[in-house]
Structure 1
Amino acid sequence: MNAIETIKYRKRLEEGGVPPAQALAHADALAEVLEELPTKDWVRAEISRQLQDLKIDLLKWMFAMFIAQTGVTIGTVIALIRYLPH
């Protein structure tokens, strides 16, 4: 919340019957809270980073499952060749 918006907010409170000192305290407190809120850019960057991490984890699992499936397939073929009558 920039200084102009703080002044507008304070004046609006004063017009509504809030004492000036209390209106100033409210405006300052609101400005502090709004400064700590994340921006759209930060949220987008954080979501993008988490999606990138998720993609990497997904690729790791896919590769591991591919290796496991290949091992099971090779084992099955060897077992069929060995134990089926010729």
Structure 2
Amino acid sequence: MNALESTKYRKRLEEGGVPTEQAVAHADALGEVLERLTETLATKDWAAAFVKEQMMELKVDLLRWMVAIFIAQNGIFFAAIHYMAR
């Protein structure tokens, strides 16, 4: 919460009958909470980086499976050729 919004919030509390000291304390506390929330919320950049990272992991896993299946397939093929050649 910026200073202008904090001042508006404090004035609105005072207009509602909240003592000035309490209004200032409420405005300060709310400002701190909002600052912490904005620090911890995910941004578009963070989400895009996260998705990109997950896609890279999936690509690596897919490549591993493809190589493993290729090796298994060739093993079966050459075993069948060897068996038929006997």
Task: Name structure 2 gaps, 5 residues minimum.
Answer: none
Partner of 2:80: 80
Distance 1:38 1:51 in 2: 21
RMSD: 1.8
TM-score of the superposed pair, with normalisation by structure 2:
0.85
Tell me by how many angstroms 1:12 deviates: 0.9
Distance 2:15 2:38 in 1: 31
Q: Is 1:70 matched up with 2:70? A: yes
Aligned length: 84
Partner of 1:9: 9
Distance 1:9 1:21 in 2: 13
Distance 2:38 2:72 in 1: 49
Task: Name structure 1 gaps, 5 residues minimum.
Answer: none
Distance 2:55 2:38 in 1: 24
Identity of aligned residues (%): 42
TM-score of the superposed pair, with normalisation by structure 1:
0.85
